[in-house]
Structure 1
Amino acid sequence: MIYKKVFSFILITAFIFTSVLAQFSWAAEVSEVTLLQDLSQIEMAIYGTTSEKPLVERVDYLEKELVGRTLPGTITSRVKQLKEFIISGTPEDPSVIFKINASQWILEEKITSEYLITKIENLENVLFAKTSDDVLAMRAESIFSVCFKEGKPQVENVLIPAGTLVPIRFLSTLNSKKSKVGETFNFQISENVFLDNRLII
């Protein structure tokens, strides 16, 4: 009887331990997938393509391209910082993409769907008649500081009412027979969208 109880206890312990390990493994896999998705999103936003190199090499390369050196911290925190810096931004410091889009609007009264590196090169040519060899962060800041000499533009979150018409034009031909579920496509806003006399898109 004692043997059965001990054996049952061992089985229960083994089951719990296995379940915990499985949960940790699942969480690690989900975290890695999210990390890779964020990294690919950053690369696509900047270059229009993703790298097939190992994860650490990709992060190192992006950091050196953006700020000239690799940054401290875990690989997860570094990717998070890169995404915040390039894409999402903060209320105190808008993202690089926001700064370049705002600058493009000031100079050209339009915001194109070109990749970040292309926009930076084009705006540099407009402003300085040449492109710079500086890191991307410095190049973006130089453009932004010329367009907004008094500091960053006033920014606030706006809730767009349901049913608001946003005119777009596709930048590539769509084919319903060849298109796959989940496939992305490029488009451009074809007209400015205003709400209460404020430009929102």
Structure 2
Amino acid sequence: MRFLKKISWVILFLVVFLFMSFSVVFSQERVVSPLVEELEKMERILYGVPQSGGVLTRIEQIERDLIGDTLSGTLAERVDTLKRFILTGTPEEPSLEFKIKAVRLTLNAKPSESGILTAELDELERLVFGVTSDQPIGVRVDHLYRTCVDINKIKAFTVTVPAGTLVKISIDTELHSERNNKGDAVPFTVVEDVKVEDILVIPAGTKGVGTITKLKRRGSFGKPGLLEIDFGEVPAIDGTMVQLTMGEKAIQENKSVAYAVGASIAGLAIFGPIGAVAGIFVQGEPAKVEAGTELFVEVAKEVKVSGPLAAGEYVPGGAQEFVPTAEEAPWGEQTPSYTDTEQAPSSLDTQEVPQVEVEIRPLEEWGEEVSK
């Protein structure tokens, strides 16, 4: 009986322990709604990390920091408006994220180590204007953007594309060791944008043409066929030719591809069948690559390329200005004007400053001087 009681106590202890363990695990699971996910993305840009507290409180904090006031509408509508302003932009006006990255590239500046955007803006304003501003974040970013960035040249940021940068391509036509010949062209297409520091250097859809440099037909004794391909070069967005190779990084990425892919010399990839069986009466398998097969190659050597900043959904299209109408401004008469000269930094007194008409976008009308 005592033995059975001990066993019962042990079983009860284990049950309680397991229950508590599962309770802790389930309590730690975090279910995040799409609205909160978007909110966290914006908070990482503004504050470095997602904020705590209720959703409404966090939304209001972002609105006040950006424009100095809160918006009207449902939570989803307000988050969507903030998303356009901070993350995606519109065809008429780039996003805040786009603008701050363009300023960094122009000034060769790095984000603040704290991850807090206001701290970074303080550093940039001291560098450019000599003093910091106490205006809302949207106005400060917009002023720096329009002061530092030549919108007509925004498609010409130059970056270094490192050797080893991966390029995903798709083979446009079927290749077969029994039907192709040495010297045949191997057309391919870049299937994903290649970006460096948020600069678009090789856009998806770019065409390239490789060459079959070596070919072996299948043979007896299980001897497999072989295709050796040189992928050559592809043009970058500014026309610079970028040499491609099948290096170690590309080979690692291609492990999931159902072909034996290996490197021989720079620029070459070897394709052969997997699992060929050797035997006197066994005919080898042909090497073949089906049309549409996707695989990775990589940049063979470092090269400088000029391209546009490719952040969010905005594609810069020149110095177009957008001035929202009264009906388009989502917060109506609550829009702050920021025309009080006492709020403007003293070093800006002789410079043009924005007169705010915000549609949760920084201000568009520049023209009046605060004071002379």
Structure-1-length-normalised TM-score: 0.60
User: What amino acid is the match of 2:139?
Assistant: M
Q: Are positions 1:196 and 2:199 aligned together?
A: no
Kept after mapping to 2: 8 A contact 1:100/1:119: no
- Structure 2: runs of 5+ lacking an equivalent: 1-30, 157-164, 169-195, 202-235, 239-305, 310-372
Using the alignment, how far apart are the partners of 1:81 and 1:87 within structure 2? 10
1:148 deviation in Å?
A: 3.2
Q: What secondary structure sits across from 1:86 in the alignment?
A: helix
User: What amino acid is the match of 1:62?
Assistant: I
Larger Rg: 2
Which of the two has greater helix per residue?
1
- Structure 1: runs of 5+ lacking an equivalent: 1-29, 156-161, 166-188
Q: How does 1:7-26 map to 2 (within 5 A)?
A: none
Q: What secondary structure sits across from 1:69 in the alignment?
A: coil
User: What amino acid is the match of 2:124?
Assistant: L
Residues 49 and 190 of structure 1: is their aligned pair in 2 closer, same or farther, counting only changes over 3 Å? closer
1:87 deviation in Å?
A: 1.2
1:164 deviation in Å?
A: 2.8
Using the alignment, how far apart are the partners of 1:141 and 1:127 within structure 2? 13
The Cα RMSD (Å) is: 3.2
Residues 152 and 99 of structure 1: is their aligned pair in 2 closer, same or farther, counting only changes over 3 Å? farther
| Residue 166 of structure 2: aligned partner | 163
Kept after mapping to 2: 8 A contact 1:44/1:50: yes
Query: Which contiguous aligned blocks of 4+ residues in structure 1 show a shift greater than 4 angstroms?
Result: 110-114, 149-152, 189-193
User: What amino acid is the match of 1:131?
Assistant: T
1:103 deviation in Å?
A: 1.4
| Residue 66 of structure 1: aligned partner | 66
| Residue 78 of structure 2: aligned partner | 78
Q: Deviations over 1:52-88 (max 9, x none)?
A: 1111111111101100110111100101111110111
Structure of higher RCO (CA pairs closer than 8 Å, 6+ residues apart): 2
Q: How does 1:88-167 map to 2 (within 5 A)?
A: 88-108=88-108, 112=111, 115=115, 116-148=117-149, 153-154=154-155, 163-164=166-167
Residues 140 and 190 of structure 1: is their aligned pair in 2 closer, same or farther, counting only changes over 3 Å? closer
Kept after mapping to 2: 8 A contact 1:87/1:95: yes
Give the paired residue count: 141
Using the alignment, how far apart are the partners of 1:69 and 1:152 within structure 2? 33
User: What amino acid is the match of 2:130?
Assistant: A
Q: Deviations over 1:116-146 (max 9, x none)?
A: 3343222112101222110001101110111
Aligned-pair identity in percent equals 30
User: What amino acid is the match of 2:92?
Assistant: E
1:106 deviation in Å?
A: 1.3
Residues 55 and 190 of structure 1: is their aligned pair in 2 closer, same or farther, counting only changes over 3 Å? closer
Residues 52 and 112 of structure 1: is their aligned pair in 2 closer, same or farther, counting only changes over 3 Å? closer
Q: What secondary structure sits across from 1:133 in the alignment?
A: coil
Which of the two has greater strand per residue?
2
Q: Deviations over 1:149-181 (max 9, x none)?
A: 6678359xxxxxx9339xxxxxxxxxxxxxxxx
Using the alignment, how far apart are the partners of 1:154 and 1:113 within structure 2? 25
Residues 132 and 191 of structure 1: is their aligned pair in 2 closer, same or farther, counting only changes over 3 Å? closer
User: What amino acid is the match of 1:147?
Assistant: C
Q: Are positions 1:42 and 2:83 aligned together?
A: no
1:39 deviation in Å?
A: 0.6
Using the alignment, how far apart are the partners of 1:192 and 1:149 within structure 2? 16
